[in-house]
A and B are shown apart, each in its own frame.
Chain A
């Protein structure tokens, strides 16, 4: 199974070797008596921060661009981006998540002297008034 992450405007494409885990979550308040309007859609991506050892100074991945996105202030248009995550397995796209107005809730980077590569965790949320635009599809060829 391979995970591909990309955003549009400005574009970020994360290499498949970098992405490790995807958690897609839809939630409403747990004390609801019936289905509510207060729906949250979050996507959590966990991945590796790689370095290019063959060419010093070259980035081996685009995690640095995600890091830059995480500090974009909310008044700027680039704070919201269109995010697509594709899960490929056995030659077909088994899952595709599309969040057209995603913003970063949390972004952390974690480095330790025993792991060799760093790890990042990116938590994205679809803008709440644009929930109808979230798409989950799967089972088609590329």
Chain B
């Protein structure tokens, strides 16, 4: 199973298979509710490797993820369009599109044992635009 990520709306970031190691989709409402709540949030957690391109034959665009995470809220491109595809056996098993995603949490972890780093990105669709999220599945790649 492979993952593809495309972020547009600032400096474009595109990851193919080989970078992302895990994707987590979460639709959440408050836990202490008596009925279905309107307070619906759509969250996505993406984990991957920081591969450090050495000869610069491929640009290491994880730096752009860090810069996006640092972007102040008064700038337009702190909201970006994010598309994640889960690909397996020639099929797009899932395609998540968040047109107005912002960064909730971003973490880079680097140590002297692994050789490459890891990153964890937690995104949320702007809550008043939750219905703009596009969720698709099971179509041909």
Q: Which residues of A contact B (CB under 8 A)?
A: 1-3, 19-28, 30, 32-37, 39, 41, 46, 87, 89-92, 94-95, 131-132, 134, 136-139
Contacts and interface: CB of A to CB of B under 8 A. Distances in A.
B63 A137 contact: yes
B3 interface: no
B35 interface: no
Q: Chain B interface secondary structure, helix, strand, loop or mixed? A: mixed
B38 interface: no
Q: Chain A interface secondary structure, helix, strand, loop or mixed? A: strand
Contact of B60 (A35, A91, A131, A139): A139
5 contacts: A1-B117, A22-B108, A36-B73, A37-B72, A94-B54
Contacts of B110: 1, 3, 21-24, 87, 95
A136 B72 contact: no
Interface string B34-53: 00000001000000001011
Contacts of A36: 73
Interface residues of B, number: 37
Contact of A27 (B54, B105, B127): B105
Given A1-B52, A3-B110, 19 more contacts: A1-B111, A1-B117, A20-B112, A21-B112, A22-B111, A23-B110, A25-B107, A25-B108, A26-B66, A26-B103, A28-B103, A32-B124, A35-B126, A37-B74, A39-B70, A46-B111, A94-B50, A95-B50, A139-B52
